[in-house]
Amino acid sequence: MGSHPRGDAKILDDRISQKTLGQWIAENQDCLGSKVKDMFHGKLPFLFKVLSVETALSIQAHPNKELAEKLHLQAPQHYPDANHKPEMAVALTSFQGLCGFRPVEEILTFLTKVPEFQFLIGDKAATQLKQSMGGDSRSMASALQSCFSHLMKSEKKVVVEQLNLLVKRISQQVAAGNNMEDIYGELLLQLHQQYPGDIGCFAIYFLNLLTLKPGEAMFLEANVPHAYLKGDCVECMACSDNTVRAGLTPKFIDVPTLCEMLSYTPTKDRLFLPAQSQEDPYLYIYDPPVPDFTVMKMQVPGSVAEYKVLAVDSASILLVVQGRVTASTPTTQTPIPLQRGGVLFIGANERVSLKLAVPSDLLLFRACCLL
């Protein structure tokens, strides 16, 4: 949902001459809001998605603006635009993902407990990581980069051998009734089944494993390694299709770029919390530290007959996840019926009123740009 050239949203209203959202915005610039129009050169600055992840999505990171421009010049077939791509995922169901590097002590524990992981990293890099524990953040980041690069650049044949050994060992232990959760045995078997022999299976020992409850979110700034493993979410990001991948994928992978660009800062706490609106008791705002997008969640009880959507000085996209409403604005001739999966584009400063068609709870998400 958005106007990126690779997936320009189609307009379903046949009374409108433009067939896509991008075309409509190009001819109705005021709909963006004056600040948004100026800052983002007349373009909608965000993309809004719903993801339903059954098979893990690749180990990846997104470039910052400077790197995006460079990659786009060098390889436009793989990096189709010159924009950065910070993104945020808000869980709709229980949602599992990998996000950012774990604290170093956790990685060291896995090096001890998983000899196959230690083998691929090698004694020298592992020792360097252990010795960096007492030092400054720069030496720790350097040691972490060395370990991760050793792993990701391992020879394919060696990776397959070590992964097979690990899978065999975990399978035998599980069959004998032993719990292998201390080394994420079940997750490792699941990833190996989806991507046999893939280096990405070992990334679970480097990256934080998060399980988000519905409404919880994670924010991924540039250069943060991540992978979505399973579950449903709404996702919002800057308007870009630039992804640097390194595993768990049949798509183009670029390991040297990924190892070079990542932010090697270990952190434990990757949850991104929304703020409750002062003006609207049903509204929660996820406002990340980037100008491109903000996500709003509206949970409206079925007892409310009519809900007024907050007018903001930005174009926005509204998504209905639960409930049925009719939407009307001062400018529409006929109310627009919306139900689960319905999507409405709202121009800047436009007032929208939603009448609940049935008295059941409403769950809505909205992407916009609050400058």
- Show which residues are catalytic: 245
Per the rule left: phi > 0, alpha: psi between -120 and 50, beta: everything else, 225 is: beta
Within 13 Å of residue 254, how many CA atoms lie on the same side as its CB?
20
Q: What are phi and psi of 95, to 5 degrees?
A: -130, 125
Fill in the DSSP letter of residue 161: H
Taking the C-alpha atoms of residue 136 and residue 149, their distance in angstroms, rounded to an integer, is 20
Q: At what angle do helices 104-113 and 137-152 cross, to 10 degrees?
A: 40
Tell me the C-alpha distance between 362 and 306, whole Å. Answer: 11
Q: Which residues of 233-259 are buried (b: 16+ CB within 10 A; e: fewer)?
A: bbbbbbbbbbbbbbbbbeeebbbebbb
CA distance 221 to 238: 10
Judged by DSSP in three states, 346 sits in strand
Which residues 6+ apart lie within 8 Å of 331 measured at CB?
Answer: 350
